[in-house]
Amino acid sequence: LNWRCIFLEEVRLRFAPSPTGYLHIGGLRTALYNYLFSKHNNGKFVLRIEDTDQTRYVEGAIENLIESLKWAGIKYDEGVFVEDHKLVQKGEYGPYIQSERLDIYKKYVNELIEKGYAYYCFCSKERLDTLRDEQKIKGLVPKYDGFCRNIPLEEARKRIADGEEYVVRLKLPHDKDIKFHDLVRGEIVINTNDIDDQVLLKSDGFPTYHLAVVVDDHLMKITHRVRGEEWLPSTPKHIYLYEAFGWEQPVYVHLPTVLNSERKKLSKRHGDVSVEDFRSKGYLSEGLVNYLALVGWSPEDDEEILTLEEMVEKFSFERVSKTGGIFDRDKLDWVNGHYIRELDLEYITELTIPFLKEAKLIDDKFCDENKEWLKVLVDTVRGNMSTLAEIVDKTDFIFKDEVEVVEEDAKEILGGENTDTLMNAVIEELNNIDEIDFDYAKIFMKTIQKSTGIKGKNLFMPVRVALTGVAHGPEMVNIIYLLGKEKIIARANKVLGR
Give the count of alpha carbons within 13 A of 94, CB side only: 15
The CB density around residue 372, as the number of other CB atoms within 10 Å, is: 10
The CA distance from 234 to 208, in Å, is: 12
* Cα 459 from Cα 461, distance rounded (Å): 6
Q: Could you tell me which residues come within 8 angstroms of residue 359 by beta carbon, excluding any fewer than 6 positions away? A: 392
Catalytic residues: 268
Q: Decide: 287 and 332 in contact? Cβ < 8 Å.
A: yes
The 8-class DSSP code of residue 15 comes to E
Alpha helices in 141-298 (DSSP H): 153-161, 209-219, 235-245, 275-280, 285-293
Q: Alpha-carbon distance 237 to 490, whole Å?
A: 75
- Calpha distance 200→120 (Å, rounded): 10
Residue 86 bridge partners (DSSP): 83
Cis-peptide, bond into residue 19, ω within 30° of zero: no
Measured between alpha carbons, how far is 386 from 323 in angstroms, rounded to an integer? 28
The answer to whether 44 and 12 are in contact (CB under 8 A) is yes
CB 253 within 8 A of CB 15: no
Query: Exposure of 235 by Cβ count < 10 A (0-12 exposed, 13-18 middle, 19+ buried)?
Result: buried
Question: Which sign does the torsion angle of CA 180, 183, 186, 192 carry?
Answer: negative
